Structure 1
């Protein structure tokens, strides 16, 4: 599938990996619908990208908020005539906390687990389930009868999570696990599902890492010895859109890095 003259709905589209993806898709001739909580950033980016972009203020953990943004995106699609080619579910949070805090002698608050799971996992599935009914109505491409692609974001933590990443690893592991069943669910409709699992990448979330943690991660990097760049993530998104044989799979984007069990 070529991204040109198709609409892509991107959650977390106003920063980090989502923003890099929006910019690259826009360069490729796509229309981008940006879903994000940061209205100030959203307005700035739409001004930068111009007419082939729209911003919707969204809390991905709130179904009513997601539904409103999807409806708004579809109204825009009806005006432009540019079908929804795909979803890039890039909204996510970290939230490090061990399951038991020895200092306070108490378990992690369930509200903290819910916060991470609701954004990373529930928010991804909620967005996808609301967009898919529109995608199945797309005119299929020739020769493969493709109607769209769903691109999700997992993490190295899905495979080798560190202490304090129980909730985060659970949310990202679930994304990795649901990729194949989702692809199988939607195969008859010509809709693919692909997940990208990045390691340490430059983003607003990783910018908050303590220097000690960052240095510890750099010591276990193979090559290159640096965090990934958002543009390296977005280039893989474009390849996942254009390469129809990518389906039901999780693509590790980590330079051979495996996260250590201890800092």
Structure 2
């Protein structure tokens, strides 16, 4: 896929992986729309790279439709990148009793339902585009899971379940959309330098930073963004989930 001149929608663009991806796409010539509930982060993103921004909830159809309309107004919408997500930690049975069911449902709503909501609505728009040479590709939908989907730690039941769901929908979505030339690929990042990590206590951060085998450091958001560009450029990447984790396997 040629990035220059297309419209691209990135969710979770107010910070972290989404912000880095939006900036990289803009630098590559895409006309970017960033979506997030973080209005302050979106303002900063627009100042840095000129992205159009839309404040909204990825699990709400009307909000996603508004963001897709904004992207389609800039050019052919050929790329949607799902980076929006939350990662609350809670034990099944903790000091205060059983896991809050509402917290579990909210995590699935943002991480899984929000991803599927964007996927279905973006695919509907992409199907109406003219195919591009040489393979007849119309678009790419790129989702973000996590290695927690396979290596979920204690306290991560909600998060791990939501990200496992993202992995689970990747292949059937790619198979269904193949007939219209739309690819679906998922990245499962390991541990990255993001605001999500920065919110942890210092001791927890230190323990986490010591985990990756090689490179023996946390990933950088711009490295995630470079992988997004590489996936877009290689049409044979389809229906797969790519672990992106420095050979890390999370301990319990």
> How far apart in 1 are the matches of 2:158 and 2:60?
19
| Partner of residue 90 from structure 2, selected from 91, 97, 118 | 97
Q: Deviations over 1:25-71 (max 9, x none)?
A: 11111110110112222223223323xx3110111232332223223
Aligned position for 1:31: 31
CA RMSD of aligned residues (A): 1.3
- Which runs of 5 or more structure 1 residues have no equivalent in the other structure? none
| Bigger Cα displacement from structure 2, 177-186 vs 216-225 | 216-225
Cα distance, 1:142 vs structure 2 = 1.0
Residue 81 of structure 2 is aligned with which of 84, 88, 100? 88
- 5+ residue gaps in structure 2? none
Per the alignment, residue 220 of structure 2 pairs with: 229
Partner in structure 1 of residue 43 of structure 2? 43
CA–CA separation in structure 2 for the residues paired with 1:35 and 1:247: 24
Displacement after TM superposition at 1:224 (Å): 1.2
Equivalent in the alignment of 2:181: 190
Offset at residue 177 of structure 1 (A):
1.3
Kept in 2, the 8 Å contact 1:217–1:260? The answer is no
**Which of 133, 156, 165 is matched with 1:142 structurally?**
133
Contact between 2:14 and 2:40, CA under 8 Å: does it hold in 1? no
Q: Paired residue for 2:56?
A: 58
Matches within 5 A, 1:87-126: 87-101=80-94, 103-104=95-96, 106-126=97-117
2:69, 2:34 → 1: CA distance? 13
Instruction: Say which SS state the counterpart of residue 207 (structure 2) adopts.
Output: helix
The Cα of 1:137 is off from its aligned counterpart by: 1.2
Q: Moved runs in structure 1, 4+ residues, more than 3 A?
A: none
Distance 2:136 2:172 in 1: 20
Write the deviation string for residues 155-214 of structure 1: whole angstroms up to 9, x where unpaired: 010110100000000001111111111100100000001100111101111111222322
Aligned residues: 252
Pick one of 147, 155, 167 that aligns with 1:176: 167
The residue that corresponds to 1:3 in the other structure is 3
Contact 1:140 1:190 in 2 (8 A): yes
* Inter-partner Cα distance in structure 2 for 1:152 and 1:14: 17
Q: Tell whether the 8 Å contact from 2:8 to 2:71 is kept in structure 1 after alignment.
A: no
* Partner secondary structure for residue 91 of structure 2: coil
TM-score, with length taken from structure 2: 0.96
Secondary structure of the structure 2 residue equivalent to 1:205: helix
Q: Deviations over 1:126-170 (max 9, x none)?
A: 111111111011111111000010100010101101000000000
Q: Contact (CA 8 Å) 2:167, 2:186: kept in 1 or not?
A: yes
Looking at structure 2, the residues matched to 84 and 127 of structure 1 have their Cα atoms a distance apart, in angstroms, of 13
Contact 1:149-1:193 at 8 Å conserved across structures: yes
